């Protein structure tokens, strides 16, 4: 049986599908691969304590529970690349070319179409469980942020939310055995990385810097060559300005 999408839970309204999934994980009989999907989130969580806003019934807001057999903290970067790439492949299958803004924002025409929030529970170095939360702008045309974009804004038509979700699970399931091909994933990720090998500006501690993006390292840190010095940054440490 397929792992991702082994069970679907459809909710009308919830604070956050990631929070709901976390509560499910406290139960003993949680089905690995469960997808929690909400029509509306009252407190959708984004990265860096941001709120994820999405109009009721027009977008995909869901979380996938994964209780992996044998993953450790050192797999987290790879995992993030895999999920980000699978989202860009999903969009590609709908005729939309997207890129990844490090670490895992999905952009089309320099506007954000999807965001990913992966939360994990660890036992020492081992990953006990993961909650992969995804917000994808699908049919909404008036977005809160002018830097946002949706599939409908690009393709001028409505999309079937359930269909997209099933396609996404299918892609994850078909690639589950290859996702640990670290080298390939890293190079695929870097090839899809917004601004890679280009001069970019970024903000660090409220000041603006510039440098050339040189891909990522094994821990998923971003490498920037700034005035002949190779600098490494963790997610959340800098903001790429674009
Ligand atoms: C980001 O800031 O880019 C990450 C956004 C992640 C939003 C999704 S929506 C479904 C899931 N539940 C949440 O509360 N957040 C994630």
Query: Which tens digits make up the pLDDT trace of 34-67?
Result: 999 999 999 999 998 899 999 999 999 999 999 9
Q: Identify which of 34, 112, 114, 117 to mutate to test ligand 1's pocket (most ligand atoms within 8 A of the CB).
A: 117
Contact 101, 74 (CB under 8 A): no
- pLDDT value, residue 178: 79
Residue 104 CB less than 6 A away from ligand 1: no
Which residue from 99, 61, 90, 107 is spatially nearest to 191, judged by alpha carbons? 99
Supply the pTM of this predicted model.
Answer: 0.96
- Ligand 1 atom with the smallest distance to the CA of 17 is 12
Ligand 1 centroid from CA 227, angstroms = 35
- pLDDT value, residue 107: 98
Ligand 1 centroid from CA 191, angstroms = 24
Q: What number is the average pLDDT over the span 113-119?
A: 98
Contact 17, 37 (CB under 8 A): yes
Q: What number is the average pLDDT over the span 120-131?
A: 97
- pLDDT value, residue 94: 98
Residue 135 CB less than 6 A away from ligand 1: yes
Ligand 1 centroid from CA 130, angstroms = 14
Q: What number is the average pLDDT over the span 185-207?
A: 95
Calculated CA dihedral for residues 215, 217, 69, 33, nearest 10 degrees? -30
Give the residue carrying structure tokens 């969009």: 91
- pLDDT value, residue 144: 84
- pLDDT value, residue 145: 87
Whose alpha carbon is nearest atom 3 of ligand 1? 115
| Average pLDDT taken over every residue of the chain | 96
Q: Residue 218, class by beta-carbon neighbours within 10 Å (0-12 exposed, 13-18 middle, 19+ buried)?
A: exposed
Query: Which tens digits make up the pLDDT trace of 134-166?
Result: 999 999 999 988 899 999 999 999 999 999 999
Q: Identify which of 60, 104, 135, 165 to mutate to test ligand 1's pocket (most ligand atoms within 8 A of the CB).
A: 135
Q: What number is the average pLDDT over the span 14-30?
A: 97
Distance CA 36, CA 5 (A): 9
Query: Which tens digits make up the pLDDT trace of 220-234?
Result: 999 999 999 999 999
Residue 97: pLDDT band (50, 70, 90) is very high
């Amino acid at each position: 049986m397929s792992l991702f999408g082994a069970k679907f839970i459809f909710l009308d309204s919830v604070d956050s599908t990631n929070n709901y999934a976390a509560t499910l994980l406290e139960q003993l009989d949680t089905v690995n691969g469960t997808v929690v999907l909400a029509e509306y989130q009252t407190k959708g969580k984004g990265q860096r304590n941001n709120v994820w806003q999405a109009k009721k019934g027009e977008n995909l807001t869901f979380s996938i529970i994964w209780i992996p057999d044998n993953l450790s903290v050192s797999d987290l970067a790879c995992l993030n690349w895999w999920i980000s790439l699978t989202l860009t492949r999903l969009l590609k299958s709908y005729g939309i070319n997207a890129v990844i803004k490090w670490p895992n924002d999905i952009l089309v025409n320099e506007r954000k179409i999807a965001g990913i929030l992966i939360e994990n529970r660890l036992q020492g170095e081992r990953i006990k469980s993961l909650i992969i939360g995804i917000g994808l702008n699908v049919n909404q045309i008036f977005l809160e942020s002018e830097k946002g974009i949706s599939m409908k804004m690009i393709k001028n038509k409505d999309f079937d939310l359930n269909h997209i979700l099933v396609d996404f699970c299918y892609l994850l399931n078909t690639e589950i055995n290859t996702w640990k091909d670290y080298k390939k994933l890293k190079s695929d990720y870097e090839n899809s990385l917004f601004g890679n090998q280009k001069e970019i500006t970024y903000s660090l501690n409220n000041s603006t810097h510039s440098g050339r993006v040189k891909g990522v390292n094994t821990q998923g840190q971003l490498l920037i060559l700034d005035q002949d010095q190779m600098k490494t940054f963790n997610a959340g440490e800098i903001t790429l300005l674009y």
